[in-house]
Every structure is written in C-alpha cells, then in structure tokens.
Chain A
C-alpha cells in the first residue's frame, strides 16, 4: 500500500474525481439539509483505494467534486463503511 502511494498518487489521476473528508459540522449540516441519516448516503468501502489514499475512516463522509459536461462540476457525497472482508 505504501509502495503504491510512492509510485503514483491515484488522487492525481485524471479519472479520479476530487475527494475530501468533510468536518463533523459539515456532516451534521448535510444530514439536516437532506433530512437523512448517514446510511442513506451512497456508500464507499474503507478499503477503496481512494479511502486508503486520503485516510478516510468508517463513519466519515466524503465530498466528491466531479466534472460534468452539462453542469461544469457537480457534487456528491459518500459514506465510508467498513469492508466485510
């Protein structure tokens, strides 16, 4: 894993959108805004290369900025969950 990071940081790859761990405050605001629980957000495994790369832990929420043809950029969120294997 460490070696991978040294060889190439996947976050710099053109096809990997920008991921960011959001703060507790942002998290509560987000959940309040959509009137949801965190498990209603799309999930991402903690073993996902992106999570490993940015050090996301289960329970945290990632904010994702994607490029879009029609909307320039679009935002999405993912809830980090523990991988079962």
Chain B
C-alpha cells in the first residue's frame, strides 16, 4: 500500500494517436453483444456490458481476464469492444476528416498538389521542425493550396466541393457522403503523403477516424452503484452504451433481412447520434442525450472538460488530509498571529513526530496521558491518534484508543512516527475562498478554544475579506519541518501586514477599535483611575504608574496618556487626523477640533487617534512602527490597540440606534425648503427647454444639456440636504463618530438616512425606460421633471413613496448585476493570468525567470525593489531621511 517497495519511473514523453480497429480488438477482453447488464439473479451477463472479463467492481470477486481482485492485487479493468454493423464518424475528428477529403482526390487518393509543391512542403516542414516553430499555419496553408485545384493532377477527376454540416454530416457537391464512402476514400490516401496532412504514419491511418469497432471502457471506469433499496443504478456511460448496442443490433438485423434502404439509413443515423453523444454530449447542433429524469447525461468529454472535469478537479486540484473547515467568529483577545481552533477539531488534526532517543519518554507520556484519570475533562490535553511503525519497508498504522494506549506506549520504538493531536502554538495555514491574493492564505499559531467555530482577531478580516455572517474558512496543519519553517518566515500574519499591492499596511485597527481610540482621545477625556487601570490591564501594561490629575478629590488619568503607553519611546509624528475638517484657514498645531496629532518621544501630546493613526492603508502610527521597529513591534501594536480599543468602548459604552438619524424639525424644514428650491430650478430648466430658451453646452444637444443640468441640480439638492443634516449631527452622535473617525459608514450614508436619498440612475442616466414616453403610469407622458425621472426626495428614515421605491430598486438592481458580471469576468481573467505566470520566479541572482530558464527581467521589476517593503511604490522616502538628519537621529 505504501510507496516504499515500488520503483519510481519518470515519464520521458507521451504522444496521442488513433487506435486502429485491430488494436481495439486486440486489447479487448470480450466482445459485447448484449445490451443487458445483470440477469435476474444479479449475476453479470456474459458478453453483456458488465461482463467480468472487463474487470470487476465488487471486492472479493475475481476478474475473468487477469484473475486478480479489484482491491488487493488491483485488476485495473480491461476494455471490451462492440463491432459496429456500419461505420460511424468520430465527432472528435470531424475537422481532420473534412480537411483530408478536401485536400485529396476521391478516385486515386493523391494529394491535390503538384509533385514540386509536395517536395517543397516536405522541405519546408523539415525546416520548421529543426527550428522548433509552430507547424500549424503551414498545414493550414497546405490545405488551402490543395483546395485551389479543380482537377486531380494524377487521374484527372474533377474535384468536388466538400461541405461539413455540423456535427457529423459531410457532403460532396451537395450529395451526402455516408461514413462508409468516407472511409473508402480515406483508405486510398497514400502513406507517403500523410505527413503533409499532419498525420504520423507510425501512429495513425486516416480511415481510423471512422469507427468500425467501438471500445467499451472497463467496468471500473463506469461502476454501478447499489442504492439502499437494493436497486442497481448504472453509470451514465453504461446507459449510453446500452443505447449504442440496441441500435447497433437493430441496424444489423434490418440490414441482414434486406429491409428498405430508408429504414437502414434512419437506424444508421440514429447509431451515429448515440455514438456522437457517447463521446461528447455537448456537441453543438444535436440535442443532448438525457437521463430518464431529464438530466443530461455525463459522457466521455464531460468527464474531462471544465471546472468539474478530471483535469481541473482531480489532477490540478486535490482534496487533502489534515485540514478542517468550519464557521468563523471574532475574538479580539487573540493576537493577529493566532487562530482559535475548536477542541473537537484539534483532537482530529495531527502533526507527525518522529520518535528519537531524545523525545521517547515525552512521546510515551503523550500517548497515555490523555486517558489517565488525573486530568480534568475540561482541560485540553493533546494525545496521539496513530502510531506508525516502519519495519522491513512496510508501514503499519496503529490507532491509539483508550484501551490500547498503555500497551502501545510501552511498545513504542525509536524510529516510529506518532501522529500527535494539535497543541497550542502549532503552525497552521488559514484560508478563505475566493483566494484572490497571497494574504488569502496566511499562517497562524493555534490556540485551542471551546465551542465549534474558528476564531481570529478582527484586524485580519480585510485581507481575507471575511465577515461573520456565516462565512466558513479552511485550516491546514503543516506536516513537515521545512513547511513549518517556510510558513513561519513567509506566511505568518505579521509578515503580511504590509501588502505587496501598494506598499502599505493592509492589516490595522478597524470598526470598534477605531471608535474606541476615538472616544479615548478626542475630547481630552479624563478617565477615572479605576477605569484606566482596567484599560491598561487589558493591554497588559507594565511600568510606572501614569501621571494622575486630581479633581474634586477623585483621581483621573488622561486618555492621551493611556494611549501613549502603546507607543515606542522614539516615535515623533505630526499629521492631520481623519476628522480634520480641512478648514479654510487651518490653525494646524492649535486645531480647535483636536484634529492635529502631535506625538513627541512616544507621548501623544494632542490630537484624535482615528483611522489616520491606526487604520490599515492610512494609519500613520502603524506604518511608522512597522518601518522603524519591524514586524514583531507592528504585531504587538495591533494586538494592543485591539485590546485597548475594545476595552475602552466596552467600558464607556457605545450605542447607535435609529434616533442617531433624527434631526430637529427646524433642520427638516430647511431641507424641504432646499429641495423645493432645487425642484423649482429643475422645473425652470424644463420650461426653458420646452420653450426653446435653453442654451446648449458645447458639443451637446439641447436634450443632453438639459439632462446634464438636471443631474447637476439634483446632485446639488442632495448635497445641500446632506449638509443641513450634517450640521445637526454632531460628534456626540455615535453614528457620526463612526463615520468621521473612519470606523464604519460615511457621512453620505447618514445624509441619505436623514436628509435625502438623491437621484437614482441606470447606466449613468436619469431613469427613462418603462412605458411609452414615461417611466410609470403615475406621471404624465413626456414629463421631464425630477420625480418622474427617478429623483428620490425622501430619506431612508422617513421612507420612500411607491414611485421612489420603484426607481430606487431599478438603481439597486443595476448595482447587483454589475457586481455579478464583474466577479465572473474578473475571475476568468485572473485564472488566465495565473496560468500564464504561475512558474515565473525571482532567482538568486535577482533575475526573473521562467521554469524553462528564459529570463523575463534582468532585475526584479527593473529596480529590484520588493513592493511590500517599498514606500507606497517608491523606493526611498527622501522626506523621511531629511527629517531624520534634521532631528539628528
């Protein structure tokens, strides 16, 4: 069973050719003449489709050809054959058949070329062969050249026009050619001339493209399954072969009995149909053969082709052991490098450990410990699932159970391998599909957790594109030391914080973490000492007690000081927060909104910590820590920020609800007024257009001008409504905090909820399709006004009117269709790119080469820069260097 005893062989080359009728008969175990499979007693019928001479499928039974059983000594199965009453065309070769007919003479079989032309082409082919060029265009040229002559040079016969009616009908000058006639013709083609038709004399004859014998695949390739009811269900291939044999038999009987030509021809065509669909059930031009249930049959070509075919599903991709899949859920207390693995899964997944003199006692203990009475069932203790003993090249797997643990442990030998259960800190690869970039598969350290879901730190959601609405992820346990080393160095989450896509962090604080640091730092928050201790405890702070302030006899710690405990001592930064309003005259260092961050020597002097400080993509502190202090420090910072943010937000409380979108009546009145003004403007525009008073924009028609002006007006109306709403939604509002700090949502979302939803569009235009000259029967024909063309003046909170709702759905539908189309198309593009680039790599001398040794680039990227370590794509940060020198670092 194991590979130890077998000899490994290397495939030198393979080639594909045609099977001759003789070869088919020679390799056949039996001729198949009966369409039935099993008799009433359940035994296979001799010379039927399940004849045991074609191999056996039930374990224990012996094959009648080789005498071996299926499981143990491996009878591979043997082909059978069906003698066809009349020849039939092989669909797969129809194009080659057509080309052969077109370029040869029906009477004498010679190529329709002069001797000189033939000699020239032979010469040319030889040259192509030597230079390793693609010969396909030359063969095409030979065929077009032969088709040009209208008389055979050798015998003078007029050349007919050969046409192909898909899928398998051929006509000469409009007269149908039967497969027999085609076969006779092909037989006449000379061996010497075959190379010019792209046929290798050693491996094929053109007439073999017309089937006279059909090979029947071994039963092992089309096993029948027994259902629970005891009923036998046959494979699709067997079903198809039954059809072939039935029709073949009828054809034979009718022909032998001298039935009318018409009936014979009909049956012949039917046989052609069955064999064509047997080979490929998706041949265009003929209806696919169906199962009784109406499902199209999966025949030979369908087994190989496409995503679910043999190549892509079983050969390029394989199912693997030592892997697990379950639902994911968040856990802010885990490090970004960790993954929580449920206990049940940890007890199934194993890591192989070779038993040596150094670890044998440990191994023995591991086998028994799990079952000893001493340990409490609540604690997880890794055990051993299998012991693999190797003796005389044979491997034996022993399953460890509670009963045999003691004896197995005692008998454990040096050199054996134990498959121990997962332990904390084992390395595992964690993956979420679709795996679109390398961060879709990263290495995590295992942490055993209760319950049944995989857990991980929320900051790692973006690279996986994961959320927790039922997403599932896969886990793979590394089995070898090399694999572990490689994963540790290249694949750990902390090594992938910087994305090679844009040279910045792709992992950073998100959602509540940002909200948390925001409420801690925004308003010079004084945190009571008890709360502060709680927060600092969460981040694991160790050090001198922080500076306290006393007010009304109570002690407080400033929020900035709490945050500063996470910063390295040498950090100096100044930048604008996300909440910066970009005021017209910025008072930068003294921003009244606390939107200017100043960090000196690792102390946060002022400023609000939000997305621009700790977020992925733009987090300045995060970026600087990673560049100056490395990945370990980066990981630690993200872990601590997570814990700090979550501790703060849980302590102070943070709620968003529908009343976050409430605005005062006064504001609502203002919005309505603004919208009215906008509507009035649009009415005026329409009136101007109708009275021909509108002046067209350069290069636009009047109608286009009107549309553009209206779109602009509706846009302005929406923005205005948003502005008014925004004015009344202050930073004491949780939804606003989330939007402004970059935690989640945007001000646009909020203004659509409490202000106005705005213009709906399909294909970038106002909605115009529907009924004749109007979108809906609710409007007058030819109405060009705002509401008739998809302007939604209501907001989500108030609710939409029926017509508004309808238009909104139209816009929404377009969005859905767009994403659906985009994903499938970009998926296919990516697949092709990956197939083209999969074996390109950077060699040790920094050249980029193909697997074949071809140099693609002489230095990687022509600059030798790792984009992940670059500064947003640039090779050096000049400003940084100048700054550092100035400050004397």
Contacts and interface: CB of A to CB of B under 8 A. Distances in A.
Interface of A: 34, 36, 40-42, 66, 68, 70-71, 74-77, 84
A76 B858 contact: yes
A41 B855 contact: yes
A40 B854 contact: yes
The interface residues of chain A, by DSSP majority, are classed as mixed
B875 A71 contact: yes
A70 B847 contact: no
Given A34-B845, A34-B847, A40-B853, A70 B863 contact: yes
B474 interface: no
A68 B863 contact: yes
Given A34-B847, A76-B858, A77-B858, A71 B853 contact: no
A70 B861 CA distance: 10
B358 to A, nearest CB: 42
Contacts of A36: 853, 855
B864 A71 contact: yes
Interface residues on B, range: 20 to 34
B133 A84 contact: yes
B40 interface: no
B749 interface: no
B732 interface: no
A66 B875 CA distance: 17
Closest 7 CB pairs of A and B: A71-B863, A74-B862, A70-B863, A70-B875, A40-B853, A40-B854, A76-B858
B874 interface: yes
Given A36-B853, A41-B855, A70-B875, A76 B862 contact: yes
A34 B875 contact: no
A19 to B, nearest CB: 15
B359 interface: no
Contacts of B414: none
B485 interface: no
A68 B847 contact: no
Nearest to A42: B855
B856 interface: yes
Contacts of B862: 66, 68, 71, 74, 76
Contacts of B133: 84
A75 B858 contact: yes
Nearest to B134: A84
A74 B856 contact: no
Contact of A74 (B847, B855, B863, B870): B863
A32 to B, nearest CB: 12
11 contacts: A34-B845, A34-B847, A34-B858, A40-B849, A40-B853, A40-B855, A42-B856, A70-B861, A74-B862, A75-B858, A76-B857
A76 B861 CA distance: 11
A66 B861 CA distance: 12
A39 B861 CA distance: 21
Contacts of B855: 34, 36, 40-42
B878 to A, nearest CB: 13
Given A36-B853, A68-B863, A76-B857, 13 more contacts: A34-B845, A34-B858, A36-B855, A40-B853, A40-B854, A41-B855, A42-B855, A68-B862, A70-B870, A70-B874, A71-B859, A76-B858, A76-B862
B865 interface: yes
Contacts of A76: 857-858, 862
B137 to A, nearest CB: 10
B139 to A, nearest CB: 16
B121 to A, nearest CB: 16
A68 to B, nearest CB: 6
A25 B133 CA distance: 30
A70 B856 contact: no
B785 to A, nearest CB: 51
Nearest to A66: B862
Interface string B867-889: 00010011100000000000000
A76 B858 CA distance: 6
B445 to A, nearest CB: 35
A65 B875 CA distance: 19
Nearest to B845: A34
Contacts of A74: 858-859, 862-863
A52 to B, nearest CB: 22
A66 B858 CA distance: 12
Contacts of B859: 71, 74
B129 to A, nearest CB: 14
A20 to B, nearest CB: 15
A65 to B, nearest CB: 11
Contacts of B857: 76
A2 B309 CA distance: 57
A71 to B, nearest CB: 4
